[in-house]
Amino acid sequence: MKVAIFGGTFDPIHNAHLRVAREAADRLSLDRVLLVPSANPPHKPSGTTTAYEDRFRMVELACAADARFEPSRLEEGQGKSYSIDTIERVKARLSPSDQLYFLIGADAFAEIGSWHRSAEVLGAVEFIVVSRPGYAYPIPPGARVRGLETLALVISSSEIRRKLDSGEPVEELPDPVLRYIRDHGLYQ
């Protein structure tokens, strides 16, 4: 089995996240992509992200679009969410013949040297690094990295939050996610 971990704040999950997950799954014949919202992203100021449960439920709604996508609660909880812990937990559930990948955008991968236990993270899995307009990244020595060029999508959760807050139309969200946002009065 081939599995990829795709972590993020997903505040909210958007069409580029889904596109990235779909293209990685198609091109590498992945059986499963675990979409793992981070409860407490170490790189974002605490208290500024939308409630974990709302972000998780939006991920869950979005995952219905593809049978290979699976929402994961592996980074639920009180403490900081570290990728090394997530990787170790997923590995513990896989069998030795399974292949595990870590799917990540170029902007996030460029920062990986600053992550908690970064050397171990880099040694633990093969990375699928997705190009993102405007971001270049060095490949750390010894890291296993596959670049994935996708159609450049200039979409970010930050820009979507800004549009929602100012009442501009938003076209970059899956319909069920936009409905969830409206029904729960998020991002206003």
The helices-and-strands tally (H runs, E runs) of the chain is 7, 6
Whole-number Å distance between alpha carbons of 125 and 143:
9
Measured over all CA atoms, what is the biggest interatomic distance in the chain, rounded to whole angstroms? 50
Residue 12 found at the interface with ligand ATP (CB under 6 A): no
Whole-number Å distance between alpha carbons of 82 and 38:
8
Collect all residues with Cβ–Cβ distance below 8 Å to 175 and sequence separation of at least 6: none
Residue 102 found at the interface with ligand ATP (CB under 6 A): no
Residue 130 found at the interface with ligand ATP (CB under 6 A): yes
* Buried b / exposed e along 132-153 (16+ C-beta atoms within 10 A): beeeebeeeeebebeebebeeb
Contacting ligand ATP (CB under 6 A), which of 23, 89, 145, 156? 156
Whole-number Å distance between alpha carbons of 42 and 170:
28
Site track 49-88 with ligand ATP (rule: CB under 6 A), x = hit: ----------------------------------------
Contacting ligand ATP (CB under 6 A), which of 157, 170, 178, 180? 157
User: Of 162 and 182, which CB lies nearer to ligand ATP in the complex structure?
Assistant: 162
Q: Which stretch binds ligand ATP (CB under 6 A): 15-23, 28-36, 63-71, 110-118?
A: 15-23
Contacting ligand ATP (CB under 6 A), which of 65, 100, 145, 153? 153
- Contact residues for ligand ATP (CB under 6 A)? 8-11, 16-17, 20, 104-105, 107-108, 130, 132, 153, 155-158
